[in-house]
Structure 1
Amino acid sequence: MAAPTHASAPTPPGDRRTGSQQSTTPRPGLRERKKVKTRLAIRKETYRLIAEQGYEATTVERIAAAADVSPSTVFRYFPTKEDIVLADEYDPVIEAQLRARPAGEHPLDSIRRVIVRGVTSTVTAERDEMVQRTRLMVEIPAVRARMAQTMAATSTVLVRVIADRAGRPHDDLEVRVRVAAVMGALREVLLYWAERGHQDDLAELMDAALLGVGAGWRP
């Protein structure tokens, strides 16, 4: 979550559609598949290099060489090195899933269910990447700073959806404050999980934190 959307979104976290339902989704074209493949290769090599030689020693030039692309190509997909670590395509998925929740459901319940389901799916499929990403959030100030910026993008998505459901304008202060509390909780959970050596169940931590935030959030 929490980064500007790029070319093609992956399978939504927690997507439980049947095979027949999934088959109705148009398959990305060759160009889009190549973009996804390039992005994945850049990210894979970045994580490998960071694990081998550390964050600071992993330059964009080395990443480009390892991924067999030019440095300009890396920057075309990721504006900064921190974005390689943090960027994802989940904001449109989160928005679609929130808008699909029952209209009468409490907004925080909708957010909590979508986020927790997505985290569960992501940790199951990409635990090593999640561990490395959150460790870098703790250890590298530049990554942590960029994390705050990218989470602001997700905040904008959540504010838009919740405001629409409540029939309020997108700049409604109360909605913005409530969503800010949610995003702050998510940020602290990620840092807490990493600081404790990733031993806890991340989805359970997220669920408990969002329940706590919702204790003071009334319809």
Structure 2
Amino acid sequence: EGIGVLFQADFILRHGAQQWLQSLPIFNRFLSEPFIELSEEDLLMFQRLINEMDTEYVNDDFLKYEMLEAQLTQVLVKLSRLYRASKESKISVDTQHMMTLESLINKQFKNNRSVVDYAAQLYMTPQNLNRITKKAMGKSVSELINEKLIIEIKRYLVYTDMSSEEIAHFFNFYDNSYFTKTFKKAVGETPKAFRKKQKELFFPTK
């Protein structure tokens, strides 16, 4: 028996949230053994935290989703601390490269989308870096960069009042039609359509 906590990546779209959450070991998608043996004390702590989340979820209180986000963040941080203490020393070389790459992408994606440059920062060839990412994720370095880019664009569409044109310029798309085409290819709808749907979902007008 157990308890599952299911959430989509888009649930955590606030500014800065995803970048530091992805740096947490338990949240990192490149770790092959995301399992932790809990002590009785830790188990009771997580049961309490999950129960608090469950109570918040079934109620319709003021700032419900903000509270759920804070509670989820607390759970992930506590799990990551336990993971770091027990397993970080067992991470493989390729996994270390992947985690470093993701950290670099998180910091540089807005102005740097060059596979050659990321490979150079990891002291390897682009071909070798692509081999590692393909093996670990089934994706090329370019696809990982674009994945991060789309998540950040979504965040700005949902949580800012910037126009699509302003967001395109902010993320260094100097052709707005190319920005729209890139976003629609990844998400399946235009930036304006995505914004409208998300605003209605998270900020419904009464």
Q: TM-score if structure 2 supplies the norm length?
A: 0.35
Which has the higher Rg, Structure 1 or Structure 2? 2
Higher RCO (Cα < 8 Å, 6 or more apart): 1
Q: TM-score if structure 1 supplies the norm length?
A: 0.34
